[in-house]
Amino acid sequence: MKKFYITTPIYYVNAEPHIGSAYTTIMADIVARYKRMMGYDVFFLTGTDEHGLKILQSAKKKGKDVREFCDELAGKFKELWKDLKITNDYFIRTTDPDHEETVKFFVRKMVENGDVYKGKYSGWYCVHCETYYDEDEVEEIDGKKVCPVCKREVKWVEEENYFFKLSKYNEPLKKLFEENPDFVEPEFRKNEMLKILEKGLKDISITRTTFKWGIPFPGDEKHVIYVWVDALINYVSALGYGRKDSEKMKYWPADVHLIGKEINRFHSLIWPAMLMSAGLDLPRKVFAHGWLTVNGQKISKSLGNAVDPREFVKKYGNDVVRYYLVRDIVFGKDGDFSEEKLVNRLNADLANDYGNLLHRTLAMVKKYFNSSVPSPGKSGGMDDELKKRTEETVNSYIELMDSLRLTEAVEKVWEYISFLNTYFDRERPWILAKEKNEERLSAVLYNTLEGILKVAMMAMPIMPDTSEKVLRRIGFNEEIKPEPLTSWGVLKSGSRAIHGKPLFEKIDVKKLKKVAEVKKLEEKDNIITIDEFGKVDLRVAKILKAERVEGSEKLIKMEIDVGELGKRTLVGGLAKHYTPEELVGKLIIVVANLKPRKLFGIESQGMLLAAKIGDKMKLLTVEGEIEPGAKIS
């Protein structure tokens, strides 16, 4: 069996997954499912990138232990992929001990090959991109040096580091690009790489000494391995390279590394050079897709537009989101995600073109053939054209999918759906029924069903649940293999067809816009619903003990009694307004169901309420005596 190995980038666990990471993973899943359908032995890898300064800083900011922080976020990625029905064969984490073993083995190979030396590094560093830059690479905004990719401020770094002789591989890389013109796609992305090679590659620093959150450099444990070197090796460590359990290395080299455009240089230049140094085969292709914006804006947490794909999956269904992404965002180019466009696609392509075709065909099979798939009948009308068109569509679909032109492949399928609708309209089965021309009636319905079978199969990698449903409805219950796609007349006459409900429900775009407008107004006026308010658990609490937090000018640590909820520790910024003695015995109001957070290493289990104006601050309390734990409503 022919093998096929596809990877996504391993995502940083500094934040929760969003529509951008979901996009790459869904596209990779489409390719993986397609290859499996075509009979390949597929290995599909995704995972998380967990070392380096960026992750360490993110964990610290949240007051969390870095390992726990990574566990939590890696879990969120895994969960999301499960919800999105991603069919990855393995999920790698760079904190896995197995990965560490492979990374050390790999780096030792590079050292043995004479490609690593000690030197002094000085230059700019972007923590967000975990990338080194030369003086002529950084940009300047408002007098500050910023990263050319993410535009965040860069830091000056001076360290004694180990270097990798990347410059030694400049010529071999040029040769690789010459001999494999499709090594990097799309072509304009390849040209960007060729320009870098023309300029000439410089050696790169591959270790850090100023923090410890990484894999120790073999032989000199003061250093940790640079996070990108550690991360790239995931593609072979997931297969067991350099370890006892290396039988999965049969999948190497990767057939495609699917990535976003901003990390192309790492995958198309640095990674192949590392592989040459370690004496491993090179990946067959790096495909760098474009960037998604949301309603025309860059996806960013600070803009608050980091779309959670689950929201849309819940509202419209997984298959609809997958279809929209592959159809509307031309694979390889930048594109924009918008709910309105998604709904338009749902209404036009899915409910109208596809759903209606199935619905009206099955309605007639039910009416005239008692829901049993009719016989192929007598050939005539546009039948030959339909067969020719089917063959052409299937052939170009296969060619386009194989060359990762995913959007074009889907377009071809929908052009074919359009043709099937024309066929149905021109052959007018309702007239054939009236005329009692049973032979032609059964032929037209059979052929349309057979066409729908091809559609369902071609759409299988994109909309797996819908395709399964459609196949069941048209009476095709066999195993999915390439043959039913490439040969005509596969449906068995007499099998049971199921009419059922429409495949997709249409959405009223006008209503959707109104809902969005109301939501915007509410957000603007800070209006919340009674349900949202109801989520806040406000309670009366009694302060039992209070003391200043050492090292902090503002904070006071308190022990409070919240009645039925028990005793708790609370940390509040009260030190400039109250002495600890004044606080003891007071009845205060607290938010009792706030997620605990750490302040100065102390876990605060709630928040107290106080009124504040200028420098003045007064605690909220209750009139008269009441038991601690009393609910406020």
CB of 38 to ligand ME8, least distance (A): 24
Nearer residue to ligand ME8 within complex by CB, 86 or 232: 232
Q: Are strands 41-49 and 90-93 parallel, antiparallel or unpaired?
A: parallel
Q: Extract the tokens encoding 176.
A: 């690789």
Report the C-alpha gap between 302 and 411 in whole angstroms. Answer: 35
Residue 279 gets the label, from left (phi > 0), alpha (psi -120 to 50) or beta, of left
CB of 50 to ligand ME8, least distance (A): 9
Nearer residue to ligand ME8 within complex by CB, 259 or 587: 259
Q: Extract the tokens encoding 569.
A: 């520790």
Nearer residue to ligand ME8 within complex by CB, 23 or 44: 23
Report the C-alpha gap between 406 and 289 in whole angstroms. Answer: 11
Report the C-alpha gap between 378 and 37 in whole angstroms. Answer: 32
CB of 360 to ligand ME8, least distance (A): 38
Nearer residue to ligand ME8 within complex by CB, 405 or 412: 405
For ligand ME8, the binding residues (CB under 6 A) are 9-12, 20-21, 23-24, 49, 231-232, 234, 259-260, 262-263, 291-292, 299
CB of 337 to ligand ME8, least distance (A): 9
Please report, for residues 120, 204, 207, 217, 421, the alpha-carbon distance to residue 117 in angstroms, rounded to integers and kept in the order given.
10, 10, 11, 12, 66
Nearer residue to ligand ME8 within complex by CB, 254 or 292: 292
Count the alpha carbons within 13 Å of 426 in the hemisphere toward its beta carbon: 13
338 φ/ψ angles, rounded to the nearest 5 degrees: -145, 140
Q: Which residues contact 546 (CB under 8 A, 6 or more apart)?
A: 556, 557, 558, 559, 580, 581, 583, 584
CB of 180 to ligand ME8, least distance (A): 20
610, 521 contact by CB (below 8 A):
no
CB of 10 to ligand ME8, least distance (A): 5
Report the C-alpha gap between 360 and 421 in whole angstroms. Answer: 10
Nearer residue to ligand ME8 within complex by CB, 186 or 377: 186
Torsion of CA 622, 628, 629, 633, to 10 degrees: -10
Report the C-alpha gap between 202 and 193 in whole angstroms. Answer: 14
CB of 258 to ligand ME8, least distance (A): 7
CB of 266 to ligand ME8, least distance (A): 7
Nearer residue to ligand ME8 within complex by CB, 236 or 362: 236
Report the C-alpha gap between 149 and 139 in whole angstroms. Answer: 9
3-state secondary structure 518-532: HHHHHHHCCCCCHHH
CB of 342 to ligand ME8, least distance (A): 16
288 φ/ψ angles, rounded to the nearest 5 degrees: -105, 105
Nearer residue to ligand ME8 within complex by CB, 261 or 473: 261
CB of 466 to ligand ME8, least distance (A): 24
Nearer residue to ligand ME8 within complex by CB, 259 or 619: 259
User: What angle (nearest 5°) sits at the alpha carbon of residue 193, between those of residues 188 and 197?
Assistant: 140
Report the C-alpha gap between 393 and 387 in whole angstroms. Answer: 10
Nearer residue to ligand ME8 within complex by CB, 149 or 584: 149
Element at 616 (helix H, strand E): strand 616-619
Report the C-alpha gap between 407 and 335 in whole angstroms. Answer: 12
Q: Which residues contact 471 (CB under 8 A, 6 or more apart)?
A: 453, 456, 457, 477
Q: Are strands 286-289 and 256-260 parallel, antiparallel or unpaired?
A: parallel
CB of 433 to ligand ME8, least distance (A): 50
Nearer residue to ligand ME8 within complex by CB, 128 or 359: 128
Element at 446 (helix H, strand E): helix 438-459
Count the alpha carbons within 13 Å of 238 in the hemisphere toward its beta carbon: 29
CB of 291 to ligand ME8, least distance (A): 4
CB of 329 to ligand ME8, least distance (A): 9
Nearer residue to ligand ME8 within complex by CB, 166 or 471: 166
Nearer residue to ligand ME8 within complex by CB, 91 or 419: 91
